[in-house]
A = this chain, B = another copy of it.
Amino acid sequence: MKIIVQKYGGTSVGSIEKIKNVARRLIKAQEAGYGVVGVVSAMAGTTDQLIDLAHDITDAPDSREYDMLVSTGEQASAALVAMAIKSAGSKARSFLGHQIKIVTDEAFSKARIMTIDAEKILEDLQYNSIAVVAGFQGVDEAGNITTLGRGGSDTSAVALAASLGAEVCEIYTDVDGVYTADPNICPTARKINKISYEEMLEMASLGAKVLHSRSVEIAKKYNVPIHVRSSFSQEEGTMVTMEDGEMEKYVVTSVNYNRNEAKLTISDIPDVPGVAEEIFMPIAQANINVDMIIQNIGSNGLAALTFTVSQADTKKALKILKGVANKLKATSVSVDEKVAKVSIVGVGMRSHYGVAAKFFSTLAKENINIMMISTSEIKISCVIEEKYTELAVRVLHEAFNLSSE
A82 and B62 in contact, given A20-B57, A75-B68 (Cβ under 8 angstroms): yes
Segment of A93-101, A168-176, A204-212, A300-308 in the binding face? A93-101
Q: What sequence of 0s and 1s flags, for each residue 208-227 of chain A, a beta carbon within 8 Å of any chain B beta carbon?
A: 00000000000000000000
Cα distance, A143 to B16, chains bound together (Å): 27
Which of B61, B71, B98 sits near A83, CB closer than 8 Å? B61
A58 engages B76 (CB within 8 Å): no
A243 within 8 A of B: no
Contacts of A71 in B (CB 8 A): 75
A16 engages B57 (CB within 8 Å): yes
Who on chain B is nearest to A69 by CB? B79
Q: What sequence of 0s and 1s flags, for each residue 139-163 of chain A, a beta carbon within 8 Å of any chain B beta carbon?
A: 0000111000000000000000000
Contacts of A79 in B (CB 8 A): 54, 65-66, 68-69
Cα distance, A53 to B46, chains bound together (Å): 13
B94 engages A76 (CB within 8 Å): no
Cα distance, A76 to B68, chains bound together (Å): 7
Q: What sequence of 0s and 1s flags, for each residue 40-70 of chain A, a beta carbon within 8 Å of any chain B beta carbon?
A: 0000000000100110111011101110110
B83 engages A65 (CB within 8 Å): yes
Cα distance, A175 to B146, chains bound together (Å): 37
Which of B20, B50, B80, B98 sits near A76, CB closer than 8 Å? B50
Total interface residues on A, CB under 8 Å, equals: 37
Contacts of A228 in B (CB 8 A): none
B58 engages A83 (CB within 8 Å): yes
Known A-B contacts: A54-B80, A58-B87, A75-B75. Give 20 more (CB < 8 A).
A16-B53, A16-B56, A16-B57, A19-B57, A50-B76, A54-B79, A57-B87, A58-B83, A62-B83, A64-B93, A65-B79, A65-B93, A68-B75, A68-B94, A69-B83, A71-B75, A98-B98, A98-B143, A99-B143, A99-B144
